[in-house]
Amino acid sequence: MSLPLEGLSAIVTGAGRGLGRAEALELARLGAAVVVNDYGQRGRDGSGDASAGPAEEVAAEIRAAGGTALAHTGDVGDFQQARELVGLAITEYGKLDILVNNAGILRDRMVFSLSEEEWDAVIRVHLKGHFNTTRFAAAHWRERSKAAGGPVYGRIVNTSSEAFLAGSAGQPNYAAAKGGIVGLTTSTALALAKYGVTANVICPRARTRMTEDVFARVEQPAEGLDPLAPEHVAPLVGYLASPAAERINGQLLVVHGGMVAVVERPRVQAKFDSKQDAFTHEELDTLLTAHYADRPPGETFAAAEVLALKRG
């Protein structure tokens, strides 16, 4: 009996530790050949090949278990290094089938304290990093589809966050980047569907090195798997990367602690029409002030209720 991802190749970014590591291991367990990307020590020739560091440790772990993997230590926030990453997978494995974008950093501050450098760094790694790899993977699939005269196999799994859905007062840069990733994903899903490619986005909750301060107050159980363990997230990534998920495209799913929630797309809650050619201040005052008069204090477009989701 063949494995679900047998014969397929994958890239996982930010895969040296935490969530990305668990995802890379899961894809390999399901049969994929994996390029494990994690920014770090680069080869002496300036290439992305690593001889040490977290990326190589995960690749070695996959190979020790009988899988196929190699490491890449380039910076996905750099356009050229992202090109090299995608090119490495194509060169080594003949093609790229799966792209899992996970790499990220945190620079948490309130908006009135955030520096330009802290804003730019987070947007660069998360949002630009997702774009960079997607851009080169998409070009590869488009070329393959044209050569084949029809659809090819392609899967993108992007990583957003509940910080985007629910709002996060101390993470304006992170929330903005993660919201941008959702827009990038839905746009990519529509653009690449005709080539046979799907693109979906997950909002995971996991205890990792990056989020250790965020979840410091959430106790780990004395026995059993931590509800915030990355191992709760990795199976969904493996599934979305598989042929079984071919009808799932442009979707957003929240996942953690043995639970997956499908998030509904935004819908129009109310609509108002001007009684003349254009609205006046007075007319808007009459319509919108009354509409919002009885709304709960503090309610915004953010869906804070997602933070209460749990297995049960």
Active site residues: 161, 174, 178
CA atoms within 13 A on the CB side of 127: 19
Using DSSP's 3-state secondary structure scheme, residue 92 falls into helix
Separation CA 236–CA 248 (nearest Å):
12
Separation CA 243–CA 46 (nearest Å):
36
Rg (CA), the chain: 21
Q: What is the DSSP string of 139-183?
A: HHHHHHHHHHTS---EEEEEE--HHHHH--TT-HHHHHHHHHHHH
Rounded to the nearest 5 degrees, what angle is found at the Cα of 143, between the Cα atoms of 138 and 144? 100
Q: What is the DSSP letter of 230?
A: G
Smallest Cα–Cα separation from 181: which of 25, 173, 238, 108?
173
